[in-house]
Amino acid sequence: MNSIVILGAGNVATHLYSVLQNSENTSVIQWYNRKLDRIQSVQNECLITDDLKALVEADIYIIAVSDDAIADVSKNIPYQNKLVVHTSGSVSLHDLDKKHQRGVFYPLQTFSKDATIDFSEVPICLEVDNKTNLPLLKTIAQSIGSPYYRVNSDQRAALHLAAVFVNNFTNQLYRIGHEITESKSVDFDILKPLIKETAKKVETLSPFMAQTGPAKRNDKKTIKKHLKSLDKDIHKDIYELLTKSIKQTHGKKL
């Protein structure tokens, strides 16, 4: 049984607490947060504290606080040579204080506060500065049913950047779809099966092979009609730029 201390009480921390506490091979023995009220509800399940000096000894400390606070929190863990990991996609492993054994346990997924998370759909990207710590991180990923991948810092940065494209930017395209349909009093729901199928398609087909539409066909008539009918300048700009990108990818003359 691996003993764990979790630090932080945001979305990632909260979901990790639940899944780790309910896993057979792991036990969260303490939960730290700067504000106690956020974690008060679990005080009968484990130790809770708002004081880093009161941290107990554990096999691993998982820091799931905001990116900017990671360095500071790690410095104030009152132990040395313990395995301390953070869960961020973009923070360097070296932001963790060097008195620790350091690692990263980065769940590459979007977490909503209320939704329950199926951790078999949460790939964990693992990074360590001392590879003897890798087995413990793997064991923890396995115990919550998550696929895991060892990556280096460059690869983690690339994944975090790619995630912005396929998650934040994609969601903004959904938002624009919502604005366009709403402007003509059409139910956005009509688009939802298409949104789902577009995501599903790339499970078995590369995005390159999955592409269709006026930009790929270089269908100038439709492109012109679309640009004309967009009300907002920024939507026109996005339409033009992504059309250009698709043409470049598929070798059409610009």
Q: Say which residues have a Cβ less than 8 Å from residue 99's Cβ, sequence separation at least 6.
A: 80, 81
The CB density around residue 93, as the number of other CB atoms within 10 Å, is 17
Q: Is 187 helix (H, G, I), strand (E, B) or coil?
A: coil
Choose between 53 and 220: whose C-beta lies nearer to a second copy: 220
Count of residues engaged in binding a second copy, rule: CB under 8 A = 85
Q: Is 167 helix (H, G, I), strand (E, B) or coil?
A: helix
Choose between 1 and 194: whose C-beta lies nearer to a second copy: 194
> Does 167 engage in binding with a second copy (CB under 8 A)?
yes
> Does 24 engage in binding with a second copy (CB under 8 A)?
no
CB 156, min distance to a second copy, A: 9
Amino acid at 246: I
Binders of a second copy among 211-250, rule CB under 8 A? 211-216, 219, 222, 225-226, 229-230, 234, 237-239, 241-242, 244-246, 248-249
Tokens of 35: 């504000």
CB 185, min distance to a second copy, A: 7
> Does 145 engage in binding with a second copy (CB under 8 A)?
no
Report whether 216 contacts 187 (CB < 8 A). Answer: no
**Distance (Å, whole) CA 121 – CA 215:** 32
> Does 63 engage in binding with a second copy (CB under 8 A)?
no
Choose between 142 and 181: whose C-beta lies nearer to a second copy: 181
Choose between 78 and 207: whose C-beta lies nearer to a second copy: 207
Amino acid at 162: A
Binders of a second copy among 2-21, rule CB under 8 A? none
Cα dihedral 25→29→34→40 (10° resolution) = 100
Query: Per-residue x/- mask for a second copy, residues 96 to 135, rule CB under 8 A?
Result: ------------xxx-x--------xxx-x----------
Q: Where are the alpha helices (DSSP H) in the chain?
A: 11-21, 70-75, 134-143, 153-163, 170-183, 192-204, 207-210, 214-217, 220-229, 233-249
CB 8, min distance to a second copy, A: 16
Choose between 67 and 72: whose C-beta lies nearer to a second copy: 67
> Does 200 engage in binding with a second copy (CB under 8 A)?
yes
